[in-house]
Amino acid sequence: MFKKTEDGQGDLFTNIIGQLGSRKQKLLEDPNSWHNVFYKEVYQRINESPYSVLYHNSTGRPNSSVRQIISMMILKEGHGWSDEQLFERCRFDIKVLLALGNSNFDDSIPTESTYYEFRKLLETHNKTRKEDLLKATFASITSSQVKDLEIGGKKIRMDSKLINSNIATSNRLYLIIEALRVFIKSHIVDSASLELESCLQDILEALRSKTTSNILYSLNGEKKKEILLKLGILIKCLLDQAKGSQEPSYCLLTRVYKEQYKEQNADGECDGGEESEDQDQKPLLKKPKEISTSSIQSIHDPEAAYRVKGHGKSKQKVTGYHANVTESCDPKDPVNLIVDVELVPANISEDRFLETSIKKSESIFQKAHQTQAKQIEEVITDGGYDSIENRKQRSKEENAIWKIAKTKGSKNVYEIEKEGKDGYKVKHISTQSECKIAYSSKSEKYIIHNPNGTKRYMKKEELENYIIRQKIEANSDQESYNLRANAESTINQTFHRLKNNGKMIYRGQIKCSWYVISRALWVNMIRIKAKKVLNDLFYYILTTCALVKYLTNLNRYNSFSHIENSSKL
């Protein structure tokens, strides 16, 4: 049964602060201490109502405090604690107790089983209803912070980070054998009815009794190629026997088979590895280039994808996810806050983030300012977000100005302007000379005559995109370049607690997404805390200067009074 958290009341005999000395009380009551800022800026802003869908309306025991469990998730990622450290701190660390709204020593916190059960309910809700409640909480908290801090949000910037999932790097053979082992564990396999040849029977027995590493240990290169083909036959037989199963392992093995194999019929024609009624079709291995980057990289994290980014020393090979962070960056705002985070499989490029992140950030500012008018005036990114579709969308007059550090593609050779409906004016940039341009109905392209006598053929769509690119490049200036560079600091601040090679401690997209959300909330809290400290320091300096000025003037007045009295004598 769902129950909202009730604010605790201090007890005369067990009150935490009341049992300590005056010096410790002063330190704990400091409004700029992290636990007090966390309590005010995170804990108290959590709206528990959306989480009522996880519990029964009227029956069952009341749930533990949703506010506390979510706050514990944020504290864990904020401090980089293990689960064991989290519960130890929550039980015995005074500052953590106060951050969780516990004012008495005997106030309880959710137990380990309650904490894990809540995360399980949250994950199940996400899978069944496709709704991430924690992300909605992030939007709610951030919107209220934007409102209270009076952040205009006229300028935003974004950057992304590739993250490795907590899975071992595995080759094709390891992946297929592991998928078979997981399948066999959850299904009763009737070996007699399969009518397998002896070598396949031996493989099946090995899968039942040995680990994947033990099976692979004794195989050389030629045997590995041979066993890959035999495993395809074995998988086809097992899938046919278990056809219609609803077990997750059946779905995983089916997906692995379709991604790694294709089937050849008697005529030598191949399909894409789809299930077929023709039992005579022979499984063949797909070539590496035929396998998509979105294919399963690990049975233990089927949502993770593969991506190679960059060249040379900056080359990255990632098996996991791609996170995007969007934050306000107007120098006139009192503090910059992360207003949107997104996590998708690693093979999805940055340019897919741009429009969705702008819309979500816009909704945060509109909700905070209680208006439907557009708040964002400038969007600042690096070249990774560049694409033809994004250029077209951002070039519309009603949209925010897009300031990009560097567009994709080779450097512009021409300055192109439109003349009339279908006419164009072209100037060569290096020579500053006019270029003749004419339309060829034969090739259905425009022909540009270069000063050196060469020609360049361009379609009308290419010319239009060229003009849009010029317009977008003209928007960038030194200020936007400097603001964009600071986005890398935000990425480092958000993800510096990742393990070696940027690896998560979690598996699965939803759990990795919770990590990013928790880190973003923590970073925002730290920034608000730093702003409060800076404001107090500024106030202290002003007060001190005013006091010094007053005492100086007072001394001068006393000196003049003494001289005047002496002259009278």
pLDDT of residue 495: 96
pLDDT of residue 312: 82
Residue of 107, 69, 103 lying closest to 86 (CA atoms): 69
Residue of 142, 49, 149, 508 lying closest to 341 (CA atoms): 142
Report whether CATH 3.30.420 matches the domain 152-168+306-405+476-527: yes
Q: Which residue has the tokens 């996991």?
A: 320
pLDDT of residue 561: 63
pLDDT of residue 100: 95
pLDDT of residue 536: 72
SS (H, E, C) 56-125: CCCCCCCCCCHHHHHHHHHHHHHHCCCHHHHHHHHHHCHHHHHHCCCCECCCCCCCHHHHHHHHHHHHHH
pLDDT of residue 559: 66
Rounded to the nearest angstrom, the gap between the alpha carbon of residue 563 and the centroid of all alpha carbons in its chain is: 73
pTM for the full model? 0.90
**Please, are residues 439 and 446 in contact by the beta-carbon 8 Å criterion?**
yes
pLDDT of residue 126: 95
Look up residue 367 and give its amino acid.
K
CA–CA separation, 168 and 297 (whole Å): 9
pLDDT of residue 200: 82
State the span(s) of the chain assigned CATH 3.30.420: 152-168+306-405+476-527
* Strand (E) or helix (H) holding 524: helix 509-568
SS (H, E, C) 278-325: CCCCEEEECCHHHCCCCCCCCCCCCCCEEEEECCHHHCEEEEEEEEEE
**Low-confidence residues of the chain, pLDDT below 50?**
569
pLDDT of residue 526: 96
pLDDT of residue 268: 54
What 8-state DSSP symbol labels residue 221? H
Q: What are the residues facing 117 on neighbouring strands?
A: none
Percent helix, strand, coil in the chain, to 5, is 50, 15, 35
Residue of 366, 376, 343, 333 lying closest to 520 (CA atoms): 343
